[in-house]
Structure formats: C-alpha cells, structure tokens
Amino acid sequence: MALLLKFFRRYFWSHRAALLVGFLCIPLAQGADVWITVLIAGALNQASSASDADYVGQVVLLLLVAAVGHSVFRFFQRWCIVVVSRRVEIELKQRLFDKLSTLDFAFHDQSRSGDVVSRLTSDVENLRMFLGPGLMYTAGAVVIVPISLVLLYRENPTLALTMILPMLGMGLAMKLLSPRLHKHSLAVQESLAEVSHRAQENFGGIRIVKGYHREEEQALRFEHTSNENKENQIELGKARGLTHAAVHGAFDLTFLVILLLGGLAAIQAPARFPVGDLFLFIDLTLKVFWPLIALGWIAGMYPRAVASAQRIEELLSRETQIADPTDARPLPTPTGALRFEGVGFTYAGASRAALAQIDLEVPAGSTLGVVGPTGSGKSTLLSLVGRLYDATEGEVRLDDIPVTDLDLDTLRGTLGYVPQDSFLFSEPYHENVRFGADRELSEAEVTTLLERAEMTDEVAEFPDGSDTLIGERGVTLSGGQRQRTCIARALARDPRVLLLDDCLSAVDTETEKALLGELRSSGEGRTVVVAAHRLTTVSEADEIVVLCQAGSIEARGTHASLLGHSGWYRDTWEQQQRVAALRGEDLRGEDLRGEDLGARQ
C-alpha cells in the first residue's frame, strides 16, 4: 500500500483541485441517492394510511430534485476522478518512455522488449484502474455504507445488527484470500510479458522464421508460453471467484435475514414495521452491498495494482550508467580530433575484455580504418566515442577533452553514427533521412544527402519517390539501400566526426567506391572512423589499425605498409582478392567478367 500511496502523491497530487471537486461530489451524490430511498419509503407508509393523494405532488417534486442532484453530482464525480486517472496514465507512460530513452545500452542489452511493452501498457492500466476508479468506488462505499447502516439501525436495531454478521464473514474471506490474489496476479503479469515478448520477437524476425521453416516449432513455443499464462489466469480466476462467491454469498444471506425477520414483522405487526420500512431495508441493503461488491472487485484488483506498481517502480528507479557530468566542460568549436589513452572495456558478465590497452590518436580531418577478425572489438571501439558505453579503463578524448566531461547532447551532436544494424522507421523515406538532422531540412538538402549516399536513382524508382512509406525496420528495402539510407541520415547533421560501423557490407564494390569518394570530397575537414570486414572499405584511410581477437592492437599503418608485412591484414586481403576474382569482381571496383567478355569478343 505504501508504494501505491507513493504513486498517488507523485502523479495525482498535481491534479488535486479536480480530485477535490470529484471527491466532494461523492457524498453529495450518495446523499441524494439515500434521500430518494427515504422519500419513497415515506410515501409508501403514507399511502397505507392517507385518505387523499395531496402528498403525492410534493413527493414527486422532491424526488425530481433529488434525482437531478444525484445525476449531476454522479456525472461530475466520474468526470473529475476518471478523467484525472486518464491524464495520469498519459503522464506515467510518457515518464516511462522518457526513462527508457535515457537508460544505457547495458539495460537494453539485458531487457526483453515484450516485457518493457507490458510495463508501458497493462501495468500502467492496472495502476490507473486502482488509483482512479478504484479509489472512487472505495470513497463511495465509505460514505454510503455508514449512512445506510445508521438509518437501518434507527428503524430496527435488531434487524440492522443481524445484517452485520454476513458482512463480517465477507471481510474475513477477503482478508484470507488477498495473499493468494497477490501471488497469482504477479504470475499473470509476468506471463503476459512473456507472451508479448514471444509474439514480438517472432513477428519481428518473421523472415528468419520462414527462411528456416520454423513456423510450427515457434508456434509450439508460443503455445507453451500461452498455456503458462492460461494456467496463471485460471489460478487467478479461482482466487477471484472465491472472493466474488464470498461477497455475493454474504449479499444473499443478508436478504434472507431481511425477508425472514422483516417480512414476518411486516405481516404480524404492520403498525410497528410498515411496508415502507421493509422497502427501506431492502433498498438500503442494496445500496450497502453494491459498494461492498465493488470493494470485492477492488480487492481483486489490489494485488495486481501492487504487482504493477512494483514493476513500474523498478523501471523508474533504475539509474543510468551513462549520464551528463555535474560540471560539464564546453566544446566551443569542435574539430573532431580523437584520442584513445589506454582504453579498455569489458561487458557486464563477460569473462574477458572486449578491448585492452588501446592507444590511438586520430587527427582532426583524418580517416581511421579499424579492422580485425569477428569479435575483436571493432564495434565496441566506435561505441565508446559517443558514450553508448563508457570505457572501463583509460579514457577517450574529443579535442583533448575526456568525453565523460561533455554533455551528452554536446558530444553526440558532433557525431554521425551509422551502426551495423541498419534500422529504419516505418515512416516515409525522407523522414528517415531527416531524422538525423537537428533542424528542419529543405527538399534540396535532402536531395543532396541522397546524392552523397548514392541513393538518388533508386529513390526515384520508388512508387512515391522519397514520400514512399517503407516497411517496419526498413524491410521493403534491400540491405545495401538500408545501409546507404543510414549513411544519409548520419550526414544530415553535418557531423565533425563520422563513425561508420561496417555499414557498407551489403553494398557492391563499385557503389562502395563511389560512395567513399563522395564522402571524402564532401566531408572536407571531417574526421571519419570506419570499422569494416571488407578491406577495400578502409584501403584509402590515412591510418589503419588491426585489432586481434584479444581486443588489443596487433598492427597499424597504411594499406601499403600493412600489405608489406605478414599477418592477418595481408592474409585477409589476399583471400578477399581471390574471392572477388571468383565472383568476377576486382577489389578496385572493376568487373573482370566484363574484361573477359570483351577480350573474347
């Protein structure tokens, strides 16, 4: 309960004016409701002894006033409280989204998207229902139950006290069942998150599933996950069913008491217990028990709300490891000079370092190529520049300032980053290009970016040109088109430092050569760091570093100097030359098959 109160103070208190109006309307609405019952009961008692109908007009007028008042107050009660709960829902979802956006890669590497989506949707909804409508119904019960019981006690103390016994039994049953409800509610929330994760993962990777003909296998795995959720839902349904049975059983027993004792009294002594009083008991009992039934519903909701609050608070309270420094240093006019001083990095839970003792200096305006076998730390090295991760040893400097001393906005505003994963949003094509800019781009500027990324001709062939809506994650584009679009997006902000993480692997050598030439000619003074498996990508770099499997620098130099030494670089270059020759291509971008065909002709 303490956690739920914390959420109430944090999010609902800012709407206290509307909530105050809503909660003030509750006793007014409930009072009007009880007044209606009292008026009808009095009219029935008068009807049994009155000789004329003069009183009817007055009763009808009072009933009309009470009914209108009840309707108006009930409307504003729900309008103020339920609408506030919806506003809080939006605020909480936005805060969760903002939090997720600021959390570091270490969190996202370990989290499952389905679980995160579940916290943003069903958990927030559970919390809203309890703190909004749940509290409204609870407040209504707190008002109408005492009022009704007092009126009933004044009419017939014996009958009123007899009614309390089933209520006490209902309260005891709810107290005993609450731990069971909480246990199964938490299990349901976790299994729902697993179902969401399983579905999202399979639909996101549907091409892989179909490509390996694993539809039936994945369907069985989803069925297993759904069955676990079903079992948890059944157990929760049993617990909630017992709660509802206790509430409705108490409700039915109370009417049995009223009809037995009250009915006999109305028959045997109508003067002491007239029919109007019997109606009063029946109607006020309904007014007492429907709020209590709502409390039973809220009691079933309470464990789910607590479980959801715990899951949401776990996310909100998580601290990011990548944050702005308390005393950030300015970066007036970035030149793009980079320096790595004794840099090392180890991923959380890893048994060995991904990078070790990296000492590098990249002058402003130069190009650095980073190559090495798979798993040697090329991507990790690039991710340290923009503080996607922080080095666990040594430091990375931009213009001789440690990157950890710069605001993230300042640091990342100087960078253009193209990761291996060529992710595109399901938006019009030009919006994906504009995404990288810090300002609104003109059509002419977008066209220039497409030219630099060698995408002009291909975009012109799209059904609606650059307005074409691309599929989720860019699935409607080829791998090379996605990579070049991501390059155009990175160039949109005209960065001082361009980081290219093996983002030309799906581009043919001829297009690669033209694209790299365009980047060099249009990016005068820009520092470029290129990680690649294909060595032609880095062959014209000012310096090339070769990382070994241990994550340290094995060799460095220019393309020509590295070919002059035996080692991984020369062996890999020769192997790639042979593969290219077999495919009919030369690593310089020439088509050997065309040469052969011309020679034969």
For the residues of 106-125, what is the DSSP string, one character each? HHHHH--HHHHHHIIIIIHH
- Pick the closest to residue 558 from 531, 540, 534 (CA basis): 540
Identify the pLDDT of residue 204. 67
Q: How far apart are CA 43 and CA 59, in angstroms?
A: 7
Q: How far apart are CA 244 and CA 401, in angstroms?
A: 65
Give CA 103 to chain center in angstroms. Answer: 12
521-524: which pairs have CB atoms within 8 A and are 24 or more residues apart?
A: 522/452, 522/491, 523/491, 523/498, 524/365
| pLDDT average, residue stretch 131-148 | 88
| pLDDT average, residue stretch 337-343 | 94
Q: What percent of the chain shows pLDDT beyond 90?
A: 25
Both tokens of 161, joined, read 């006290």
Lowest mean pLDDT among 10-19, 247-256, 308-317: 247-256
Identify the pLDDT of residue 600. 31
> 400-418, pLDDT tens digit by residue?
999 999 999 899 989 999 9
Identify the pLDDT of residue 212. 67
- pLDDT higher than threshold 90 for residue 354: yes
pLDDT band of residue 476 (cuts 50, 70, 90) is confident
Q: What is the overall mean pLDDT for the chain?
A: 83
Q: How far apart are CA 561 and CA 543, in angstroms?
A: 10
> 26-76, pLDDT tens digit by residue?
999 999 999 998 888 888 877 766 656 667 788 889 999 999 999 999 999
> 197-226, pLDDT tens digit by residue?
788 777 767 767 777 677 788 888 888 888
> 533-575, pLDDT tens digit by residue?
889 889 889 999 999 999 999 999 999 999 988 689 999 999 9
Amino acid identity for residue 589 in this structure: G
- pLDDT higher than threshold 60 for residue 230: yes
The full set of domains in the chain, from first to last, is 2-316 (1.20.1560.10), 335-414+496-601 (3.40.50.300), 418-494 (3.40.50.300)
Which residues neighbour 13 within 8 Å (Cβ) at sequence distance 6 or greater? none
- pLDDT higher than threshold 60 for residue 597: no
Identify the pLDDT of residue 594. 37
pLDDT band of residue 145 (cuts 50, 70, 90) is confident
User: Regarding predicted confidence, which is higher, 523 or 124?
Assistant: 124
Identify the pLDDT of residue 68. 95
Q: How far apart are CA 470 and CA 437, in angstroms?
A: 19
Identify the pLDDT of residue 548. 93
- pLDDT higher than threshold 50 for residue 446: yes
How many helices (H) and strands (E) are present in the chain, helices listed first? 22, 10
Task: Report the predicted TM-score, pTM, of the whole model to 2 decimal places.
Answer: 0.70
DSSP string, 192-212: HHHHHHHHHHHHHTHHHHHHT
- pLDDT higher than threshold 60 for residue 84: yes
- pLDDT higher than threshold 80 for residue 489: yes
CB atoms within 10 A of CB 544: 24
